[in-house]
Chains A and B, each alone.
Chain A
Amino acid sequence: MTTAISVSGLTRRYRDHLALDQVSLEVESRSIIGLLGRNGAGKTTLLRILAGQEFPSSGSVLVHGAAPAENEAVLRRMVFVREDQTYPDFRVRHALRVASWFYPHWSAELADALLADFGLPAGRPVKKLSRGMRSALGIVIGLAARAEVTMFDEPYAGLDAVARQIFYDRLLADYAEHPRTILLSTHLIDEAAGLLERVVVIDRGRIALTADADDLRGVATAVSGPMLAVDEFTAGRVVWDRRRVASRVSVVVVGGLDEADRLRAGSLHLDLTPLTLQQLVVQAAAQPADTLERTSA
């Protein structure tokens, strides 16, 4: 495996706000990475810097071994589709043609197929597209570019569930045939969870967690039942988010459960519900830094 993106000590400061604070990150080429975190956590700033659209205050960013800013050779190898991407006053087909000139691996065939999938009229002026259709156009360009580094920043404003499913399916299908490095920043974590090979969670400008997406499955489990039984079961374990109603208690237990734990929970009449990736990220954000790193290590 080779490194596609290497970020080291990256800091971005705006006047009195620290958008990124000493971020270091390595991304392997040919993988799909989920960039997760709350609004304002620094995801977009990171992607903009990777895409050469913004300069770091300090630290270094290398994409395929070179700094992306003002480096056309590197920029042609990457595509960045942002939320609410704007376009010049073009028709859809012109926007695609312009993109085809820029990206060396552009697939007109894929672009046409995606237009049909999303029902995008090629002759319509981009200005007259609905918000969802404009998002779809961004997705078409992002996928058809077949760029070695492909970045989507919340690409689906205004897209309904059906269109988002088309996006996930086409992304997977084309990735299978043309593997590349894909960074997807998203709030719809559970929808995209299965697609991701790794996740990077950003919180307040810092990397809160990087992990294999599959390793996070089963890392946290909601345990609920009678208070005494829950207390007995969770003694000595890392516990988050304890809640109580009458004599019933629900807590989140961090750390995997084995077969013996499950049998014991059964005999204590406890309900076990694994946390989804989205719930896990929400819970992790509410904890002191490093809690998850320590428990999943």
Chain B
Amino acid sequence: MPDVAGLEEGTPLFAQIAGRLAEEIADGGLAEGERVPSMNELAAFYRINPATAAKGINLLADDGLLEKRRGIGMFVASGARRRLLGQRRERFAAHYVEPLVTEAARLGIDTDDLIALVRQSLQALPLTSQGGITV
């Protein structure tokens, strides 16, 4: 079902659940030490099978980003945010810069113009976000 929670076709749901949680942790929506929604809470919210939700949670737990506290649930591990942001920086070039450069070449935008456009965009950003995300 084209669903309100916005999951996509084409990617395994458990990977998307893991991705959503990781994003929330990286953006600070889920703080370190905070309890992560349970598999049943995630299943109800995303309207997916609980086993699929559990698989998503376990993916992050196996990676050390979440830690289990017996009888209470899963919690965001300390250092998780820093690690996730580090991974994002590593992927920044492949995910953002390369497509940008490829499309610019396709349109015949030369290097100087491209850099000028990037500068313009940076100047249009609100001041608060110019400092980047601090950990």
| A contact set with B: CB distance below 8 Å | 31-32, 165, 168-169, 172-173, 175-177, 190-197, 213-215, 217-218, 221, 259, 263, 266-267, 273-276
Contact = CB atoms under 8 A, between A and B. Distances in A.
Contact of B11 (A169, A218, A276): A218
Closest 4 CB pairs of A and B: A274-B10, A176-B40, A194-B48, A274-B9
Name the prevailing secondary structure of the A interface residues: helix
Nearest to A193: B1
A263 B94 CA distance: 9
Interface residues of B, number: 26
B10 A217 contact: yes
Given A172-B43, A192-B1, A267-B102, 4 more contacts: A194-B1, A214-B55, A217-B12, A218-B12
B49 A218 contact: no
B50 A175 contact: yes
B13 A176 contact: no
A194 B11 CA distance: 12
Nearest to B7: A194
Contact of A32 (B2, B40, B46, B49): B49
Interface of B: 1-3, 7-14, 40, 43-44, 46-52, 55, 94, 98-99, 102
Contacts of B99: 266
B9 A194 contact: no
18 contacts: A165-B1, A177-B40, A192-B1, A194-B1, A194-B3, A194-B47, A194-B52, A195-B49, A213-B52, A214-B13, A221-B10, A263-B94, A266-B99, A267-B102, A273-B10, A274-B11, A275-B10, A276-B9
A194 B44 contact: no
A67 B66 CA distance: 45
B44 A218 contact: no
A263 B101 CA distance: 13
